[in-house]
Amino acid sequence: MIREAAPAKINLALHVRRRRADGYHDLETLFAFAADGDVIAVAAADEPGFAIIGPFAAGLSTAPGNDNLVLRAAAAFTAQYRIATAHVITLDKRLPIASGIGGGSADAAATLRALARLHAVSLADPALQAIAAGLGADVPACLWGRTTIGTGRGDSLAAVDGLAGTPLLLVNPRVAVSTAAVFAEWDGIDRGPLPDGELLARARAGRNDLEPAAIRLAPGIADVRALLDASDGVRLARMSGSGATCFALFGDAAARDAAAAAAATRGWWTLATTLR
């Protein structure tokens, strides 16, 4: 059996620029990844199987015909590489669903990595990269699983020096928001590009253009931001992706854990971790 981590993705900054002819928007984003997240397990088998376990399993379906990205990733991989072997796949769903931290995209990317390891396919194979791009705009970044700047749809990637080991806290007010609804609520104003500089300075000088729209749809996001912004030792706090999960980077683990405890008393989901 191959086990592969599907770490939570965060957007240190997310600038939405113009709408493209293909219906997507041009983005400029700083992707970073947590040390923790979901977990995918894949094994060769005589008959295919798919199971979802974990604290957020109830929000997903394993019924035939469902559009789970894990199954789409597996189907695309076996078709591309003409794999006749069946697979049993288990998704340990530890991250909240529709929460702006790349859960589905990370799961799909981890599935591709696990299958690549199982069948001796290089992660650098352009065909594997193309599969990832076809599954969704965030999947290529999640396939890399390292700090990058994303442009275009977010899938044109360039590696940047990261902040590995930085204490990180994720907080979700137990609200799911639709990415499509958040984009529909966005005011459409292009507020300019990401600045240059070192990563943390760029992130601090940047913004998440979708945050105001997400707050209008889910006002609890503002409460999370207020708690994180007021926490001791916070270096950067922001909403990730289209929400509703927010993150904060801290100078030390003790400050992170104190903020996590404060958030937990509100009944919010928390994950105290570090950046990869």
Domain of 212, CATH number, reads 3.30.70.890
Terminal-residue alpha carbon distance, the chain? 24
pLDDT tens track for 205-251: 999 999 999 999 999 999 999 999 999 999 999 999 999 999 999 99
Domain of 151, CATH number, reads 3.30.230.10
The verdict on 144 and 225 lying in the same domain is no
Q: Into how many domains does the chain fold?
A: 2
pLDDT tens track for 118-128: 999 999 999 99
The verdict on 183 and 151 lying in the same domain is no
**Upstream peptide bond of 86 is cis (omega within 30 degrees of 0):** no
The verdict on 152 and 267 lying in the same domain is no
What pTM was computed for the model?
Answer: 0.95
Residues designated catalytic: 9, 138
The verdict on 139 and 221 lying in the same domain is no
Contact 234, 242 (CB under 8 A): no
Question: Residue holding tokens 């979700």?
Answer: 172
The verdict on 153 and 185 lying in the same domain is no
pLDDT tens track for 141-169: 999 999 999 998 888 999 999 899 999 99
Q: Which of 63, 252, 37, 29 is nearest to 153 (CA)?
A: 29
The verdict on 16 and 139 lying in the same domain is yes
Residue 64 is predicted with a pLDDT of 67
Domain edge (last residue) among 127, 159, 191: 159
Q: Which domain holds residue 32?
A: 2-159
